[in-house]
Amino acid sequence: MINAMNFADRMAALARAKQSVLTLGIDPQLDSAKAPGVAPSYSLARFCCEIIEACADQVVAVKFQLAFFEARGIDGMRALAEAIALSHRLGLPTVADGKRGDIGSTSAAYAEAFLSGGDFACDAMTVNPYLGADAIAPFLEYVERGRGLFVLVKTSNPSSGDFQDLAAPERPLWETVAARVKEWGEKFVGQAGFSSVGAVVGATYPAHAERARKLMPRALILVPGYGAQGASAGDALAAASSGQAPGVLVNASRAIMYAYRGRLGEKPPEAARRAAQEMRAELARALVARHG
Amino acid sequence: MINAMNFADRMAALARAKQSVLTLGIDPQLDSAKAPGVAPSYSLARFCCEIIEACADQVVAVKFQLAFFEARGIDGMRALAEAIALSHRLGLPTVADGKRGDIGSTSAAYAEAFLSGGDFACDAMTVNPYLGADAIAPFLEYVERGRGLFVLVKTSNPSSGDFQDLAAPERPLWETVAARVKEWGEKFVGQAGFSSVGAVVGATYPAHAERARKLMPRALILVPGYGAQGASAGDALAAASSGQAPGVLVNASRAIMYAYRGRLGEKPPEAARRAAQEMRAELARALVARHG
């Protein structure tokens, strides 16, 4: 069911075939049931699935923000399983964005949960590096089998510098994390030149993103922060490589899922599709402007 | 349903009433179905619930390691909800050990998932500090309403020093995190002298734990690593306060849940109860030895 080809190679092939670096973030916000234009009977699963279907040809992957499903309990987890299954049927790789990480035996269970064969099995997931190498190791076993990993390096939020930017001691902590991500990823570099052990680097700090690319020349970089968090397409591509494959996945969540709020008379799926088309095109133009 | 009294005060009252600092960790390991003495038809929910019931009077809280439930998909999440509900019926506070943390709007959803009123609602949860203050803020709103928080400071695993011990720049990163935990917790100090904004400090690094107590004199400290991870009762109490309430919760998971593997002829609940009794007594003796 899940492909065993190198994950970074799959993403490079999809980016080329679809001429897109956009990933669709599925973050069903807590107040979405109350949104105008969405009937109260509209289920969470249906809302997510309709948006995924509408955007399928515009995006290279679907990223699920697990928190919003957990917040809805068992029903939410069922909706998550349904939306993951639909994405796979549509040929879209999936990213479980849960920022997990724990002692080895527990990380192994997280890897089993999100990178193996169960209800929540995705193609890739995001992980938190605070616990160090042995918390990452169990996930690497799945990278060997075609899955992808995105380690938090420099996050997109306003306080991301609280700890990530501390001099630790001769360079910022996030740079030390980046150096480790490079090491962890070396044996997973695919034919397209990128590693399936990637990193999360927020679009909201473009100077950090350029530096991140220098520190991790082969990491596949997942870029949050484009759209609702305020970063431009140019900012979102600060870590794009100038080679044949850009090596970045630019995520937009709320700006796609909630596009209908700003588009009078459009249903959520139509509005999402239109927003995804615009963002894909904007990113493509910005990529040309950047590298020619 | 969930108490609105200051969480740290509730824990202090329970520690006094039960003469225990032990928390029961529910980590249903992935291979447990294959364990000798456990029939294959034995459901995950039943396994967890029988152990919680058997240990209820020995422990002050139940800590759920979310990974092991997620690894079993929807059925696992249903078992989690059932085991949480049973714990509450037994008057046992619950800790969702998921080490969550994300940008503000996502942390708000995690807080809603694990500290509010839904299927997975617990009394407290563990969080990861890597994203900084704005990732912690949404959880603090629930602390105001009687919930507890444990921020990862110094974890128990072998690689915990990879980043946590880096000089950042004039002191180890984990000490800087500890200083922030102290700040975040100041307005949540209860009548027993401890804050509901607590910390995770592993028993496997007792010198760090003593220092952690100095840096966070009022933090309620959750201590993993006792038992299966190799730390002694004395190590596990390195952060115990000498005041009226010890201000620590010492967790044991595998050493209780899987005690039956070392006790021929005992069923899992009996063996777990016996192990919990022994650990509770050992911790009580070590506490007396430490502070008289």
Three-state secondary structure string covering chain A: CCCCCCHHHHHHHHHHHHCCCEEEEECCCCCHHHCCCCCCCCCHHHHHHHHHHHHCCCCCEEEEEHHHHHCCHHHHHHHHHHHHHHHHHCCCCEEEEEEECCCHHHHHHHHHHHHCCCCCCCCEEEECCCCCHHHHHHHHHHHCCCCEEEEEEECCCHHHHHHHCCECCCCEHHHHHHHHHHHHHHHHECCCCCEEEEEEECCCCHHHHHHHHHHCCCEEEEECCECCCCECHHHHCCCCCCCCCCCEEEEECHHHHCHHHHCCCCCHHHHHHHHHHHHHHHHHHHHHHHHC
Per the listing, tokens 């009687």 go with B146
Size of interface A-B (CB pairs under 8 A): 193
Cβ of A129 under 8 Å from any chain B Cβ? yes
Q: pTM of the full predicted structure?
A: 0.96
Nearest chain B Cα distance for residue A287, angstroms: 27
Task: Please report the pLDDT score of residue B80 as a whole number.
Answer: 98
> Domain ranges in chain A?
7-291
pLDDT classification of B35: cutoffs 50, 70, 90:
low
Enumerate the active-site residues of B.
Answer: 99
- Cβ <8 Å between A70 and B110: yes
Q: Cα angle at B200 between A127 and A138, to 5 degrees?
A: 30
Instruction: Give the pLDDT score at A40.
Output: 58
Instruction: Identify which of A101, A159, A224 has the shortest CB distance to residue B128.
Output: A101
Give the closest residue to A147 by CA, choosing from A292, A1, A291, A3.
A3
Of the candidates B78, B101, B169, which has its C-beta nearest A169's C-beta? B169
Cβ contact, residue pair B112, A155, below 8 Å: no
Cβ-Cβ contacts under 8 Å, B73 against chain A: 81, 113, 118-120
Query: CB contact, 8 Å: A229 with chain B?
Result: yes
Closest residue of chain A to B128, computed from CA coordinates: A130
As beta bridge partners, residue B6 has none
Per the CB < 8 Å rule, is A160 touching B132? yes
**Residue B1 pLDDT class (50, 70, 90 cuts):** very low
In the three-class reduction of DSSP (H, G, I as helix; E, B as strand; rest coil), residue B10 is classed as helix
Q: Do B157 and A99 touch (CB under 8 A)?
A: no
Q: C-alpha angle with apex A222: A218 to A227, nearest 5 degrees?
A: 140
Is residue A253 within 8 Å of A227, Cβ to Cβ?
Answer: yes
**What pLDDT sits at residue A32?**
55
Residue A173 has its nearest CB partner, among B30, B77, B173, at B173
> What is the β-pairing status of strands B248-252 and B148-154?
unpaired
The pLDDT score that the predictor gives to residue B36 is: 53
CA distance A218 to chain B (A): 22
Q: Nearest C-alpha of chain B: how many angstroms from A80? A: 10
Q: Is the CB of A103 less than 8 angstroms away from the CB of B129?
A: no
List, for residues B110-128, the tens digit of each pLDDT value.
Answer: 999 999 989 999 999 999 9
Q: Which residue of B has its CA nearest to A159?
A: B132
A100 vs chain B: nearest CA distance in angstroms?
A: 7
Distance from CA of A119 to the nearest CA of B (A): 5
Q: Are strands B124-127 and B94-100 parallel, antiparallel or unpaired?
A: parallel
Distance CA B21, CA B194 (A): 14
CATH code given to domain B7-291: 3.20.20.70
Residues B22-39 have a mean pLDDT of 74
User: Is residue A277 less than 8 Å (CB to CB) from chain B?
Assistant: no
For residue B156, pLDDT over 50 is answered with yes
pLDDT digits (tens, 9 = 90+) for B211-237: 999 999 999 999 999 988 889 999 999
Contacts of A67 in chain B (CB under 8 A): 100, 102, 106-107, 109-110, 113
DSSP state of B53: H
Joined tokens for residue A187 = 């044996």
Q: Looking at the annotation, which residues of A are catalytic?
A: 99
Residue whose C-alpha is closest to residue A219's, from A254, A242, A248: A248
Work out the minimum CA distance from B103 to partner chain A, whole angstroms.
6
Closest Cβ–Cβ partner in A129, A157, A164 for B134: A157
Chain B residues with CB inside 8 Å of A166's CB? 168-169, 173, 176
Cα–Cα distance, B26 to A97 (Å, whole number): 24
Strand partners, A172: A167
Q: B180 and chain A: CB distance < 8 Å anywhere?
A: yes
Does residue A120 sit at the B interface (CB-CB below 8 Å)? yes
Instruction: Write down the pLDDT at residue B231.
Output: 93
Question: Model confidence over B169-194: pLDDT tens digits?
Answer: 999 999 999 999 999 999 999 999 99
How big is chain A, counted in residues?
Answer: 292
What pLDDT shows up at residue B262? 84
Test A81 with B72 for CB contact under 8 angstroms.
Answer: no
Q: Is the pLDDT of residue B286 over 70?
A: yes
State the sign of the Cα–Cα–Cα–Cα dihedral B275, B276, B280, B281. negative
The reply to whether A152 touches chain B by the CB within 8 Å rule is yes
What does the block give as tokens for B149? 């928080």
CA distances from A8 to A21, A186, A240, B110 (A): 13, 12, 14, 29
Walking along chain A (292 residues) 10 residues at a time, the average pLDDT comes out as: 79 96 92 56 89 98 98 96 98 98 97 96 98 98 97 97 96 98 98 97 97 98 92 96 92 95 90 97 95 78
pLDDT score recorded for residue A37: 56
Question: How much is the pLDDT for B164?
Answer: 97
The answer to whether the CB atoms of A130 and B135 lie below 8 A apart is: no
B73 part of contact set with chain A, CB < 8 Å: yes
What number is the average pLDDT over the span B89-104?
98
User: Looking at the complex, does the CB of residue B134 fall below 8 Å from at least one CB of chain A?
Assistant: yes
Side chain identity, residue B269: P
Q: Is B78 on the interface with A (CB under 8 A)?
A: yes
A150/A59 Cα distance (integer angstroms):
18
- Residue indicated by tokens 């994405």: A87
User: Is the per-residue pLDDT at B34 higher than 60?
Assistant: no
Q: Does residue B273 have a pLDDT over 60? A: yes
Closest chain B residue to A70 measured between Cα atoms? B113
Subunit contact A169:B164, Cβ cutoff 8 A:
no
Contact B216, B149 (CB under 8 A): no
The DSSP output letter for B189 is: B
Interface of B with A in 158-177 (CB under 8 A): 158-164, 166-169, 173, 176-177
CB contact under 8 A, A130 and B104: no
Nearest chain B CA: its distance from A288 CA (Å): 30
Q: List CB contacts (< 8 A) between A135 and chain B.
A: 157, 159
